[in-house]
């Protein structure tokens, strides 16, 4: 029986074979997975915002921001036996959910996507697949057995990347 670990808003979780990672309600947030396919070890972060500069030194969970989530995710994966050179990335989310009647948008989804990609580049992780953007929410589940990222949407159907 596979155990499913829930990854909440601003959360980071790691899993081994026999455990899946699931995050629900990704709107402008990005669900990022790093996966060591040789050891079947994965980690997921539910990233809310691009960077922690807006916090003015206040403490927040490291999973909340792209610039703190990626290093923390790496740290937790290495602690349970993943090898950095084996890790690759998949991500989903980053929708534009907050368009106003005047057409104004803060572009949080796109800014999150760009920030996550920049952090992946800075840490030399290959982004092998992504399902990002649009104006619809997603829920995701990562299967450590296969490396599949299952994506569910209400309006766009389901897919696997």
pLDDT digits (tens, 9 = 90+) for 71-103: 999 999 999 999 999 999 999 999 997 665 555
pLDDT of residue 13: 98
Question: Residue 140: which H helix or E strand, with range?
Answer: strand 138-143
Range of the domain at 57: 3-160
Q: Give the residue ranges of the chain where pLDDT is below 70.
A: 55, 98-105
Per-residue model confidence (pLDDT) at position 154: 85
In sequence order, the β-bridge partners of residue 117 are none
Q: Residue 146 maps to which CATH number?
A: 3.30.1330.200
Q: What is the full DSSP assignment across 70-109?
A: HHHHHHHHHHTT--GGGEEEEEEE-------TT-----HH
pLDDT of residue 102: 55
Answer yes or no: pTM beyond 0.85: yes
Q: Catalytic residue positions?
A: 29
Query: Residues 14, 35: contact at Cβ < 8 Å?
Result: no
pLDDT at 58: 79
Instruction: Count up the domains in the chain and report the number.
Output: 1
Looking up tokens 């959360």, which residue turns up?
11
Task: Quote the tokens at residue 100.
Answer: 């106003």
Per-residue model confidence (pLDDT) at position 97: 76
3 state SS of 73: helix
- Kindly report the backbone phi and psi dihedral angles of residue 109, in degrees, each rounded to the nearest multiple of 5, phi listed first: -55, -50
């Amino acid at each position: 029986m596979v155990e499913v670990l829930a990854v909440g808003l601003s959360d980071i979780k790691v899993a081994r074979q026999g455990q899946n990672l699931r995050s629900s309600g990704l709107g402008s947030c990005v669900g990022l997975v790093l996966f060591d396919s040789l050891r079947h070890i994965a980690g997921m972060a539910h990233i809310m915002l691009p960077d922690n500069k807006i916090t003015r030194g206040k403490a927040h969970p490291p999973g909340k921001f792209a610039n703190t989530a990626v290093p923390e995710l790496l740290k937790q994966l290495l602690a349970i036996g993943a090898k950095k050179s084996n890790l690759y990335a998949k991500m989903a989310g980053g929708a534009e959910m907050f368009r106003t009647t005047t057409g104004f948008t803060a572009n949080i989804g796109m800014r999150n996507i760009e920030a996550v990609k920049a952090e992946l580049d800075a840490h030399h992780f290959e982004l092998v697949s992504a399902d990002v953007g649009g104006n619809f929410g997603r829920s995701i589940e990562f299967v450590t057995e296969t490396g599949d990222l299952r994506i569910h949407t209400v309006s766009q159907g389901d897919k696997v990347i």
